[in-house]
Amino acid sequence: MENRIRKQFLTHLAREKSHFTDQSYVENFYELDAQIIRALQSHQLQLANTLLETLTLDLLKHPMIDEYHGVRLYFRGLTYHVSRLVPASNPNVQTSLAYTSALLKLVDELDTPLDFVYAIPVITESLATMMSFVSSQVSSDHRVLSAIRLIEEHLTDPTLSLSNVAIGVGLSNNYLSSLFKQETGETISERIRRRRIEASMNDLIVTSSPICAIAKSYCFSSCTTFISTFKTYQDMTPLQYRQSHHQKKR
């Protein structure tokens, strides 16, 4: 059995090696890959989209075993790469794993060149969100980790606040506020606001819910407040963000 499997591997290896004899193609692949990772790390989604589209179209010219094998292999590899950057101690690791699983299933369902191109904004958005888990400073203090977990679990809860989180972890408002800021670099209120905006971004893309309804679901006091807060984080309004993604799908 082992010998048969070894022969199978060597057969595949001999077949695949022929696809990478063009050194300029290989160098271009790695250069674009490095740029995509940097764009995701800096949350430059438009740049990441452009770079990933370029690499995708290049990979579609080198189909390997089947027509879409190369691009599927890369999308899966990129997803695994970002996923592995999120350590098990990170409070967002379960969310990251859920993103990973969903992305891998999506990649396997893509079966036309247009599918792969149209999937790029969704992939970069999801990977950038996962990358933000890595860049967010994570505390080793179990009380801060508990506070972060409570925030993640109650983003759509209108009662979510410093006071309620403090009660949940058994600390005073002042002590938790000071500790959280020291450990994560942001206040409880800043964390809640940022994570609500990040969560709303997915709703803007995958649902047709009115913007004011999304604002209400994430507990913003008004639609105007949501729009101005969103613009602070994303340099565009929620409507512009939604339109920019829908235009790419046409």
Concatenating the DSSP letter of every residue in the chain gives -HHHHHHHHHHHHHHHHGGG--HHHHHHHHHHHHHHHHHHHTT-HHHHHHHHHHHHHHHHT--TTSTTHHHHHHHHHHHHHHHHHS-TTSTTHHHHHHHHHHHHHHHHH--SHHHHHHHHHHHHHHHHHHHHHHHS-----HHHHHHHHHHHHTTT-TT-SHHHHHHHHT--HHHHHHHHHHHHSS-HHHHHHHHHHHHHHHHHHH----HHHHHHHTT-S-HHHHHHHHHHHHSS-HHHHHHHHHHHT-
SS (H, E, C) 100-122: HHHHHHHHHHCCCHHHHHHHHHH
Residues 170 and 187 in one domain: yes
What residues contact 166, with CB distance under 8 A and at least 6 apart?
A: 172, 173, 175, 176, 177
Q: Which of 53, 215, 200, 204 is nearest to 118 (CA)?
A: 53
Residues 41 and 124 in one domain: yes
Residues 120 and 179 in one domain: no
Confidence (pLDDT) at 62? 73
Residues 165 and 182 in one domain: yes
Number of domains observed in the structure of the chain? 2
Residues 119 and 236 in one domain: no
Residues 103 and 152 in one domain: no
Q: Phi/psi at 62 (nearest 5 deg)?
A: -125, 75
Residues 193 and 211 in one domain: yes
How many other C-beta atoms can be found within 10 angstroms of the C-beta atom of residue 15? Answer: 11
Residues 14 and 81 in one domain: yes
Q: 75, 110, 135: which is the final residue of a domain?
A: 135
Q: Which of 58, 35, 51 is nearest to 113 (CA)?
A: 58
Confidence (pLDDT) at 19? 67
Over the stretch 102-122, which tens digit does the pLDDT of each residue have? 999 999 999 898 999 999 999
Instruction: Report the C-alpha gap between 164 and 155 in whole angstroms.
Output: 13
Instruction: Report the C-alpha gap between 44 and 235 in whole angstroms.
Output: 11
Instruction: Report the C-alpha gap between 231 and 158 in whole angstroms.
Output: 22
Residues 194 and 241 in one domain: yes
Confidence (pLDDT) at 159? 95
Q: 106, 135, 164: which is the final residue of a domain?
A: 135
Residues lower than pLDDT 50 in the chain: none
Confidence (pLDDT) at 157? 94
Q: 135, 159, 175: which is the final residue of a domain?
A: 135
* CA 43, chain centre distance (Å): 10
Residues 8 and 105 in one domain: yes
Angle at 80 between CA 79 and CA 85, to 5 degrees: 100
Confidence (pLDDT) at 246? 66
Structural domain containing residue 174: 142-248
Confidence (pLDDT) at 148? 86
Longest distance between any two alpha carbons in the chain, whole Å: 67
This prediction's pTM: 0.55
Residues 74 and 151 in one domain: no
CATH of residue 181's domain is 1.10.10.60
Residues 68 and 152 in one domain: no
